[in-house]
């Protein structure tokens, strides 16, 4: 199995600022994903983090707002840009192993 470490685990940020979330996997995974879990809502896929190239975004999510990098097979970052209170959510990183998807503990973001 893979262990996925995310940091920070939580943060409180001012509106208009940006926050970068880091995701480190302890072993190689085939794919990495970023999800958002808004209060009282389900997990929603933001994008697939592609190694060495631009991420693939789902409908409703754009690169300018959520730039993602994946410089190697085991590390990825998600930036939440120009934050507003509506961005207050839990952001989760996921890595796909051979048989299942593994998840980080999530980053609980509050924008004030």
Partner 1 sequence: AQSVTQLGSHVSVSEGALVLLRCNYSSSVPPYLFWYVQYPNQGLQLLLKYTTGATLVKGINGFEAEFKKSETSFHLTKPSAHMSDAAEYFCAVSDQGGSEKLVFGKGMKLTVNP
Q: Which of 2, 25, 33, 78 binds partner 1 (CB under 8 A)?
A: 33
Among 14, 39, 42, 64, binds partner 1 (CB under 8 A): 42
Which residue, 80 or 106, has its beta carbon nearer to partner 1? Answer: 106
Quick one: tokens of 12? Answer: 């409180």
Residue 45 found at the interface with partner 1 (CB under 8 A)? yes
What is the three-class DSSP state of 85? Answer: helix
List the one residue out of 39, 25, 7, 24 whose CA is nearest residue 106. 7
CB-hemisphere CA count at 13 Å for 93? 31
Structure-token match 């990183």, residue found = 93
Residue 82 Cβ vs partner 1, minimum distance, rounded to whole Å: 26
Give the residues lining the site for partner 1 (CB under 8 A).
4, 6, 30-31, 33, 35, 40-45, 48, 92, 94, 96, 100-106
């Amino acid at each position: 199995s893979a262990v996925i470490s995310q940091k920070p685990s939580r943060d409180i940020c001012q509106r208009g600022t940006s926050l970068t979330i880091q995701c480190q996997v302890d072993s190689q995974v085939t794919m990495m994903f970023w999800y958002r879990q808004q209060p009282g809502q389900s997990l929603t896929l933001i994008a697939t983090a592609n190694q060495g190239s631009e991420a693939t975004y789902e409908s409703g999510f754009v690169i300018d707002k959520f730039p993602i990098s994946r410089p190697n097979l085991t590390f990825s970052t998600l930036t939440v840009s120009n934050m507003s209170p509506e961005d207050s959510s839990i952001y989760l990183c996921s890595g796909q192993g051979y048989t299942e998807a593994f998840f980080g503990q999530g980053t609980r973001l509050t924008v004030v």
